[in-house]
């Protein structure tokens, strides 16, 4: 369960944008596609982008068993997992007040390595987070592929969200200036699916892909 903010997750810069509601944190994670994982290895900080999935009150991360990041996290290295969704550009009358509308989550903690049936179930969750229903359509991992893959569970016990929405906030003395101000919405949307060269021309789109396209925001 996502608790009330801790000392480490309390938003200090523009604090009114901080959100500590569990459902909001989950919704942002469900809408995102890429997480950035920060950790320290041999006294050097790293921030690595990675696909992820939310599974209840935890984030699932996967990668090669030989990955420096995966090995470090599996060994208990403290980490910071961040997910950001940019919803729009905010153009004010002054350069100083230009901004972005966004939703973000920051989670702190240590990961746990998954094995056995829990690992297999987590892999299906990760695939379905990419394209819902895809795990039932594709071949599952063979023993060698499963052995080469590491899956980690990262808790959401210490997490918070930060959100900005709405129009620009100009200084009162700038409002009369003859300068356009407003927002430019941005959204991630699906393009036209492109089959692999060796897929027959008459092969229909699988239900998972067709459903993803149908749910994608209109351009």
Q: How far apart are CA 72 and CA 58, in angstroms?
A: 18
How many Cβ atoms are within 10 Å of 89's Cβ, its own excluded?
Answer: 15
pTM over the 0.85 mark? yes
pLDDT band at 3 (very low <50, low <70, confident <90, very high): low
What DSSP line would sit under 24-83, residue for residue? HHHHHHHH--EEEEEEEETTEEEEEEEEEEE-SSEEEEEEETT-HHHHHHHTT--EEEEE
172-215 pLDDT, tens digit each: 999 999 999 999 999 998 999 999 999 999 999 999 999 999 88
**How far, rounded to the nearest angstrom, does the alpha carbon of residue 38 sit from its chain's CA centroid?**
14
23, 54, 99, 165, 172 from 28: Cα distances, Å: 9, 10, 19, 14, 33
**Domain locations along the chain:** 15-215
Q: How is domain 15-215 classified at the CATH fold level? A: Pnp Oxidase; Chain A (2.30.110)
């Amino acid at each position: 369960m996502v608790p009330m903010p801790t000392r480490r997750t309390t938003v200090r810069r523009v604090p009114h944008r901080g959100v500590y509601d569990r459902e909001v944190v989950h919704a942002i994670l469900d809408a995102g596609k890429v997480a950035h994982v920060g950790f320290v290895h041999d006294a050097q900080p790293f921030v690595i982008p990675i696909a992820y999935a939310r599974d209840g009150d935890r984030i699932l991360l996967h990668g090669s068993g030989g990955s420096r990041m995966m090995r470090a996290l599996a060994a208990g290295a403290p980490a910071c997992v961040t997910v950001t969704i940019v919803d729009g550009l905010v153009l004010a009358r002054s350069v100083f007040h230009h901004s972005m509308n966004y939703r973000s989550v920051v989670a702190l903690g240590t990961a746990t390595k998954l094995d056995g049936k829990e690992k297999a179930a987590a892999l299906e969750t990760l695939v379905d987070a990419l394209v819902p229903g895809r795990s039932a359509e594709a071949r599952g991992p063979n023993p060698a592929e499963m052995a080469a893959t590491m899956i980690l569970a990262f808790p959401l016990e210490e997490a918070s969200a930060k959100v900005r929405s709405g129009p620009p906030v100009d200084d009162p003395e700038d409002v009369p200036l003859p300068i356009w101000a407003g927002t430019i919405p941005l959204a991630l949307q699906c393009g036209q699916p492109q089959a692999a060269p060796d897929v027959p021309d008459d092969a229909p789109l699988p239900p998972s892909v067709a459903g993803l396209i149908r749910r994608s925001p209109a351009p």
